[in-house]
Amino acid sequence: MNIGIIGGGAVGLLFSSYLSKKFDVTLLVRRIEQVNLVNRLGVTLKRSDRSITSYLKGEILSGKMSSYDLIIIAVKEYDLDSVLKILKETDQQIPLLFLQNGIGHLDRVKSLPHLTLLAGSVEHGALKENDHSVIHLGIGKTNLALIKGELNRAEELLIQQIEYFPFLIHDDHEVMMLKKLFVNVLVNPLTAIAGVENGRLPDNPHFLHIQHTLFEELLTLFPHMKNYIHFQEIIDICLGTSDNRSSMLKDIEEKRKTEIETILGSLLIKAEKEDHFVPIMNTLYELVKGIEREGQGG
């Protein structure tokens, strides 16, 4: 199966490395410098136990993408709109798999004419070292669910078992994405503001109190989720990734744009429309936006 992966960040490099073990993979990126490095040096994956270099093809992202059996979109949500314009030019028969955080992008994705659309929720921890190297910080799984259509060729991701990189199918894409959103909301902003690893949140009673209050605020927005996720699951994830620094914390440290709009911004819009009082959510949003602005020079 030929797979195109759009995005040369941590997730794009991680997926390129692992999937190239079983499939023909092309990494589709915007910068010719990254294309040249990938074509010359391959993609190097670093785990605690070893370092592996996979040789695959790098190409500049364009609308001429008709030769793929599956396209995986691994850019951040705030870079998605320009990619969607390109995807509209591609063959509607090609299944598309979206790996963005949050739920704000789902309505835009549904407007695409493609017959098969999938959502993915990535539980792995990854850190981009450079344009051709990624560190696999935490081994998890990738959850998949259909937005519309049928699995067809994308089912190969489930059939081909890749060591350290499992895929799991879910029935309801909205519940799957909301579960990931709960984790992102309860971990990313607070670690970014406090400058701590994930494991410090449940260990510190003050952080833990904020997390629990935030969890209750989320349930006011999505009351049906009380049947699908419990606060203890969030604690277990924090403890299971105790040494990890969240993606939002890393963005703050590197003075990059964060995904706070994706993770909290869309929720605050929903809260305002539905007249919900979510003070912790509002405060965390404003703090991250303020820190982000300071890091980018005001």
**Per-position pLDDT tens, the chain of length 298:** 999 999 999 999 999 999 999 999 999 999 999 999 999 999 999 998 799 999 999 999 987 777 899 999 999 999 999 999 999 989 999 999 999 998 889 989 999 999 999 999 999 989 999 999 999 988 889 999 999 999 988 999 999 999 999 999 999 999 999 999 999 999 999 999 999 999 999 999 999 999 999 999 999 999 999 999 999 999 999 998 888 889 999 999 999 999 999 999 999 999 999 999 999 999 999 999 999 999 876 6
Q: Where are the beta strands (DSSP E) in the chain?
A: 2-6, 24-29, 43-46, 51-54, 57-60, 70-73, 96-98, 117-122, 125-130, 133-138, 142-148, 167-170
In terms of pTM, does the model score above 0.95?
A: no
d(CA 290, CA 224): 32
Q: Where are the beta strands (DSSP E) in 142-281?
A: 142-148, 167-170
The count of other CB atoms within 10 Å of the CB of residue 32 is 11
Q: Which domains does the chain have, with CATH numbers?
A: 2-171 (3.40.50.720), 176-295 (1.10.1040.10)
**Are the beta carbons of 140 and 124 closer than 8 angstroms?**
yes
Q: Which amino acid is at 229?
A: I
Which residues belong to the active site?
180
Residue whose structure tokens are 């992966």: 5
| Distances from the Cα of 101 to the Cα of 11, 52, 74, angstroms | 12, 27, 10
d(CA 170, CA 121): 10
Dihedral pair phi/psi, residue 244, rounded to 5°: -75, 145
Percent helix, strand and coil across the chain, each rounded to 5?
45, 20, 35
Query: Which of helix, strand or coil describes residue 227?
Result: helix
Q: Containing H/E element for 231?
A: helix 231-240
